[in-house]
Amino acid sequence: MFTLDDLARIIAERARAPADQSYTSALLGKGAAHCAKKFGEEAVELAIAAAAQDEKAVRAEAADVLYHLLVVLRSREVELTDVMSELERRTRQGGLAEKASRRA
């Protein structure tokens, strides 16, 4: 089964390719702000697809969101394993309690 770790590894490989040969490399070459903007655009497209109840579009846009999220992480030198550790830490308690703890 294909995992986010697989995708992160592919993004890391493609980041090393010349920008004229790799969309990933071209995105990263434009900087973190550009990567973040692209991620935001994809997130909006996912929200629109979900609101329209278009399951095929939701799958496609969710894939775009996951890809662009990992590109943003790469652009900021944040490892997926660090994000997963943060999620693991947060799930040790209920969602409402965890959210309240972030306000403190």
Answer whether residue 84 is part of any domain.
Answer: no
Q: Return the CATH number at 56.
A: 1.10.287.1080
pLDDT digits (tens, 9 = 90+) for 71-86: 999 999 999 999 999 9
Assess if residue 86 is contained within a domain.
no
Residue 67 lies in a domain: yes
**Segments of the chain scoring below 70 in pLDDT:** 95, 98, 104
Flag whether 47 is in a domain: yes
Residue at 39 is within a domain: yes
User: pLDDT tens-digit profile of 83-94?
Assistant: 999 999 988 877
Of 12, 34, 7, nearest to 22 by C-alpha is 12
Q: Flag whether 58 is in a domain.
A: yes
**Residue ranges making up the domain that contains 64:** 4-78
Give me the number of domains the chain comprises. Answer: 1
Cα gap 10→52, rounded to integer Å: 31
Give the model's pLDDT for residue 104.
Answer: 65
Residue 43: what pLDDT? 98
Does residue 26 belong to any structural domain of this protein?
yes
pLDDT of residue 60: 98
Q: Residue 46's CB: how many other CB atoms inside 10 A?
A: 20
Tell me, yes or no, whether 99 lies in a domain.
no
Q: Which two tokens stand for residue 86?
A: 């943060």
